[in-house]
Structure 1
Amino acid sequence: MTLALHHIVVDCEDAGRLAAFWSEVLGRAVREGADAASAFIPEGGPGEAGWLFFRVPEKKVAKNRMHVDFVAGDREAEVLRLVGLGATLVDDHDEWNTRWSVLQDPDGNEFCVVQGR
């Protein structure tokens, strides 16, 4: 048996607000009915997981134990686009023959954008 990624689930303060941000990032629409408690961005195509957002009472207080990495042909341009959408650039790295940027979404969740080859 083989596993396949089905959904990426994000705990947050305002599910509708965070889903709207990730909707712009991913270029996929939020399903109708999103509110502050829960929101859903459906699967895009083959191999593209859906994204679920759920409001939780506690605030984020530490670094993510797991995060999402994206790859971009023009990392610098993509980082500028994401910052324009509301992300925060945390740091840029150039190690192990790889360049990547660490960002945070509007709720402080870390994610990375890696330079494609």
Structure 2
Amino acid sequence: MACRITELVLDCRDPDRLAEFWCAVLGYEVIGHEPDGLELGPAGGRFGAGPPTLILAQTENPRRGKLPLHLDVSPAGTDQETELARLLALGARRADVGQDGSESWEVLQDPEGNEFCLLRKDVGEA
């Protein structure tokens, strides 16, 4: 037997605002409303089957600074440069965490400052 990652939880001030961003980034939709946040996932998905859902948990004091865990996303059906332009247009911002410019990934922040990386490899159509 083994465990599977079924949910990733991201603390935030404004779950509705972040839901718009992350749904557009991942092609997810809001699939659940919790008293303190939202659950995002693939349309028609079944809990535990497929990719993990993303829980946006509302808090007045989300942790800031370098987190021990971050999300990596990959372009799906396009190249990194095109996807980077799309993410920036959606509200992502470039982040400097000490990169030297030789990295194959782009470090970004979502609208609330949570860091994530855009990898280079196209993983095929979403």
TM-score (norm 1): 0.82
Q: Which residue of 2 aligns with 1:51?
A: 54
> Could you tell me whether the CA contact under 8 Å between 1:5 and 1:47 is conserved in 2?
no
SS in 2 for 1:30: strand
> Could you tell me whether the CA contact under 8 Å between 2:80 and 2:119 is conserved in 1?
yes
Q: Which residue of 1 aligns with 2:120?
A: 115
C-alpha distance in structure 1 between counterparts of 2:50 and 2:33, whole Å: 25
Q: Percent identity?
A: 35
Tell me the alpha carbon deviations over residues 56-97 of structure 1, each in whole angstroms, 9 at most, x when there is no partner: 1214331121001122251111111001001001257434xx
SS in 1 for 2:18: helix
The structure carrying a bigger strand percent of its residues is 1
**More divergent stretch after superposition (10-19 vs 43-52):** 43-52
Report the number of matched residues: 113
Provide runs of 4+ in structure 1 moved above 4 Å.
Answer: 32-35, 43-46
TM-score (norm 2): 0.77
The aligned amino acid for 1:55 is Q
Q: Which residue of 2 aligns with 1:2?
A: 2
SS in 2 for 1:9: strand
Q: Which residue of 2 aligns with 1:68?
A: 71
Q: Any unmatched runs of 5+ in structure 1? A: none
The aligned amino acid for 1:53 is L
